[in-house]
Structure 1
Amino acid sequence: MNGLITFLEQKVSPIAAKIGGQRHMLAVRKGIISTLPLTLVGSFFVIFLNFPIPAVAEKLTPFLPILDIPYRFTVGILALYATFGIASSLAQSYKLDQLTAGIIAVMSFIVTSIAPARLWAEASTTNLLTNKPEIVAAGRYLNIANLGAQSLFGAIVTALISVEIYRFMKVKNITIKMPEGVPPEVANSFIALFPAGACLILFWVIRHMLGFDINATLSNLLMPLQGFLAGNSLLGGLVTVFLICFFWILGIHGPAIMGPVIRPFWESSIADNMEAFSNHVAATDMPNIFTEMFLQWFVWIGGAGATLALVCLFLTSKSAYLKELGKIGFLPGLFNINEPIIFGAPIVMNPTLTIPFILSPMVMTVIAYVATITHIVPMTVSRTVFTVPSPIGAMMVTNWHIMAGVLVVINFLVSLVIYYPFFKVFEKEQIASELAEG
């Protein structure tokens, strides 16, 4: 075991840390996370669109078209906001003007999101005044559905490419330089003139001259991976849980490593569920089980590794250190913050606590999966911040279903049972260490 831990620490950990710190990966993670406030707000309106109390839902029926607007312009155009966030984050790492980079990237993404002219030749709409069909001119209409989570991978690509073009032209001095004394905002606008033109022409040619749909192509290529990691595959869910816990054991923030890879899938999955739920599909019939909210509320009880159970065991410990650590970690653990335990026990590189830290969440994942496919618990249809206590958060994201809270309690008890024997071994080691130190 010690040899394995040494190998992981010396060989695997540095590689994982390097990948997680790569500037493009960081930009994707930061950019997508920056959209969180909007998706949280949009989630509340999804609940209003499908209010769980029939009497209230009936009264809200006349207002559904209005209540749908906040959702459509938050979650419904998630990729548009993510484009700006990703480009801005990457520009910051290159010390470029973030605002300019974000605007150029948004322009590039929108150009790729509009159907080419030849597709509009066969399309028509009805004129509301004359009630007659009319042809829609290319570029005069933007379907906001093309700006949603399904285009998130296209948004990532266009954002990264746009910033790289901006950086390349600045490094090579392919810019218009203004005299000294010109305000920075004006100078930055002229510096960005050639990069903006290059990005516009590039993505216009790709989408409208060549007819290549970046968003659709990437979505089709990555759809199987999304279905595996963030769809309905139990194996995919277990792989995700294992990897996140595994990186934590190496002392690396698990979601920070996995985030750039899986977060776009998570965002797309919960957006699909919210879209279906806003269209009054039953919460038990959502497209995806393994959303981020599924893991957050049914598996990460107290944080990654389901460590709230371990904290509670620490509170009963005969070890002075573990008992004190339990007191320190209990309140943060209730709000799903467990760094004090992960690094305080520590769980990092701890052969005794490594097994339950991985095993407990994986068993809980299986239990939650079975409860979901048997319709005991609905699928997640909205999202909320991770600092809400787990039973409340679980009910919130399942349209206030009481069995979601019950499942959290059951999974907590399961994690308590799994952690207990390993806790007793670790406690014995800790007591012996305390006695040896006098």
Structure 2
Amino acid sequence: MNKMMELLEKFLLPIADKLNNNRYLSALRDGFMVALPLIIFGSIFVVIANLPFLDKLLGEDAYAAYQDALGPASAATLSIMGLFVIIGIGYKLIEQYELDAIYGGVVALAAFLILTPQTLEDVNGVIPTSSLGAEGMFLGIITAFTSAELYRYFVQKNWMIKMPNGVPGAVSRSFSALIPITLTLSVFLIVRIIFSYTPFDTIQNFIYTIVQEPLTALGSGLPATIVAVLLIQVFWFFGLHGQIIVNSVFDPIWYTLNDQNLQAFQAGQELPNIITKQFVDTFLVGMGGSGMTLAVIILIFLIGRSRQLKELGKLAGPAGIFNVNEPLIFGLPIIMNPIIIIPWLIAPVVVTIITYFAMASGLVPAPAGIIVPWTTPPLISGFLATGNAWQGAVLQLFNLLVVCIIWWPFLKMLDKNYYESEQEATDK
């Protein structure tokens, strides 16, 4: 056990540290956080627009009118979520260089729109919303990074128009940004022109065909998801925020898969993906936090004898219901605790496999693409994430029982150690 921990420390900790401090992954993570409130807003109205049995209560025509009335809420947020992510990434990356961040956001957006097809069924001047959502996500991320770096390069080269003293600050900043923005966007215009002479016609078609489809296929598979889940657990064990590190890499893939499911769900079609952002967030992380630690809290109340665990259960319980588990991670502790490393690593993998095959077999509907707020308690979140299906809540309950069974002997052993130590301290 000690040798394994030494190997993990030697090889994984330096990698995790570099990933955690990488400016591009930080900008990617924070860019998604900028878009998150809008995504949740749209998801809430998708839930409201698809409440169970509402079509029977209202009638077919009234229900269709009801859905049409609420449709713009998701169409203006979820369907074009790529735009918000692009602005967020450009803004956050330029912010790290301590430059005027708003120009990083707008130049990223403009560069992306230059590269985006503006023709729909032979009608010019129209941008398909699919290009602004899942299909355009990878191109948007690459464009945001590239445009922000080009803008930063031109600014730091001091290729700017200097206004005299006395000119209002807003005017001066606009003229200062003029040349860097012009040069940056000109690069993307040239790229668009070049690709118009290729078989792909646009760089978006090229990216989607050559890069995004293979990566999305990889990320939608069970093996890649198991690797991601294991890495989350390993990083947390060493005190690093595993979700932030791993999600920085996988979120673009998972959100793309999520958006594909949402479009199919709204169209009444079969859902194309099992692995999505909500698969991970609802059926793994959304069960008390990383490692599904709500099950550990339940076990503490059931079998805990030591004062330390009983007090920890009281402290961590309310937060755990809303998927906040830092009190348990640092209080049990989970970090660098060899007694619990086996259940900490194994339980999420087992639950990932169970959840995947429960959905693949049709016993439980796949996630409908609805972004459920991460603080939503289990059972409720499972119901909402699967498009208001009761099977989602039942699966979460079953998964909690599985985690309890896996953790039982290890938590019993930890509790025994704590209890005996407390008894020895009392006898002295």
What TM-score comes out, normalization by structure 1 length? 0.90
2:148 is matched with which residue? 163
**Quick check: 1:151–1:216 contact (8 Å CA) kept in 2?**
no
Query: 2 CA distance for matches of 1:4 and 1:435?
Result: 32
Please give the alpha-carbon distance, in whole angstroms, between the structure 1 residues aligned to 2:12 and 2:168: 48
- 1:291, 1:380 within 8 Å by CA — same for their partners in 2? yes
- Pair 1:33-2:33 in alignment: yes
Q: How much does 1:11 deviate?
A: 4.0
The answer for the alignment partner of 2:311 in structure 1 is 324
Percent identity, aligned pairs only, is: 35
Aligned to 1:102: 105
Superposition map of 1:189-228 within 5 A: 189-211=174-196, 213-220=202-209, 221-228=211-218
Secondary structure of 1:331's match?
helix
Q: Which residue of 2 aligns with 1:313?
A: 299
Kindly indicate whether residue 345 of structure 2 is the aligned counterpart of residue 361 of structure 1: no
Q: Whole-Å Cα distance in 1 between the matches of residues 407 and 216 of structure 2?
A: 31
Paired with 2:155 and 2:235, the residues of 1 have a C-alpha distance of 37
The CA deviation string for residues 268-302 of structure 1, in whole angstroms up to 9 with x for no partner, is 11111111111112xxx311111121222222311
Shift of 1:63: 4.1
- Tell me by how many angstroms 1:222 deviates: 3.2
Q: 1:338 aligns with which of 285, 304, 325?
A: 325
State the partner residue of 1:266: 254
Write out aligned runs for 1:9-408 (5 A). Answer: 9-53=9-53, 54-56=55-57, 58=60, 59-115=62-118, 124-125=122-123, 136=124, 140-211=125-196, 213-220=202-209, 221-229=211-219, 231=220, 233-281=221-269, 285-300=270-285, 301-315=287-301, 316-381=303-368, 382-408=370-396
- What does the per-residue CA deviation read over 1:321-345, in whole Å, with 9 as the maximum and x for residues that have no partner? 1111111111111111111111111
Distance in 1, Cα, partners of 2:261 & 2:175: 43
Q: Per-residue displacement from partner, 1:365-409 (whole Å, max 9, x unpaired)?
A: 122122212222111111210111110011011121111111111
Find the aligned partners of 1:331 and 1:96 in 2 and give their Cα distance. Answer: 42
Q: Structure 1: state its 5+ residue gaps.
A: 126-135
Superposed CA offset, 1:219-265 (max 9, x none): 33132222222x2x222222221121121112111111112210011
Q: CA deviation at 1:195?
A: 1.4
Rounded to whole Å, the distance in 2 between the matches of 1:209 and 1:237 is 37
Contact 1:49 1:278 in 2 (8 A): no
Secondary structure (helix, strand or coil) at the match of 1:34 reads helix
CA RMSD of aligned residues (A): 1.9
Cα distance in 2 for partners of 1:215, 1:33 equals: 24
Contact 1:31 1:89 in 2 (8 A): yes
In structure 2, the CA distance between the partners of 1:293 and 1:210, relative to structure 1 (3 Å rule), is: closer
CA distance in 1, matches of 2:247, 2:348: 18
Q: Which runs of 5+ in 2 are unaligned?
A: none
In structure 1, the partner of 2:399 is 411
Q: Which letter maps to 2:177? A: A
Q: Does 1:434 align with 2:422?
A: yes
Name the aligned partner's letter for residue 289 of structure 2: G
Task: Give the TM-score taking structure 2 as reference length.
Answer: 0.92
Preserved contact between residue 195 and residue 203 of structure 2 (Cα < 8 Å): no
Runs of 4+ in structure 1 off by over 4 angstroms are 435-438
Contact 2:316/2:325 (8 A) holds in 1: yes
Matched AA of 1:215: Q
For the 8 Å contact 1:34–1:82, the answer to whether it is kept is yes
2:137/2:252 contact within 8 Å kept = yes
Q: Secondary structure at the match of 1:299?
A: helix
State the partner residue of 1:132: none
Indicate the SS of the match to 1:76: coil
Offset of 1:435 from its aligned partner? Answer: 4.2
- C-alpha separation in 2, matches of 1:183 and 1:341: 53
Matched-pair contact (CA < 8 Å) for 2:195–2:202 = no
Shift of 1:49: 4.5
Q: What SS does structure 1 have at the residue aligned with 2:292?
A: coil
CA distance in structure 1 between the partners assigned to 2:49 and 2:415 by the alignment? 50
Give secondary structure in 2 for the equivalent of 1:182. Answer: coil
Give me the whole-angstrom Cα distance separating, in 1, the residues matched to 2:279 and 2:32. Answer: 19
Secondary structure of residue in 2 paired with 1:40: helix
Task: Decide whether the 8 Å contact of 2:51 with 2:388 is kept in 1.
Answer: no
Q: 1:181 to 1:14 in 2, by over 3 A?
A: farther
CA distance, structure 2, for counterparts of residue 72 and residue 56 of structure 1: 25
Q: Give the secondary structure class of the aligned counterpart of 2:135.
A: helix
**Corresponding residue for residue 129 of structure 1:** none
CA contact (8 A) 2:154 2:180 kept: yes
In structure 1, how many angstroms separate the alpha carbons of the residues matched to 2:169 and 2:421?
A: 61
The residue number in structure 2 matching 1:130 is none
Report the more deviating stretch, 174-183 or 157-166: 174-183
Amino acid at match of 2:235: F
State the one-letter code of the partner of 2:378.
S
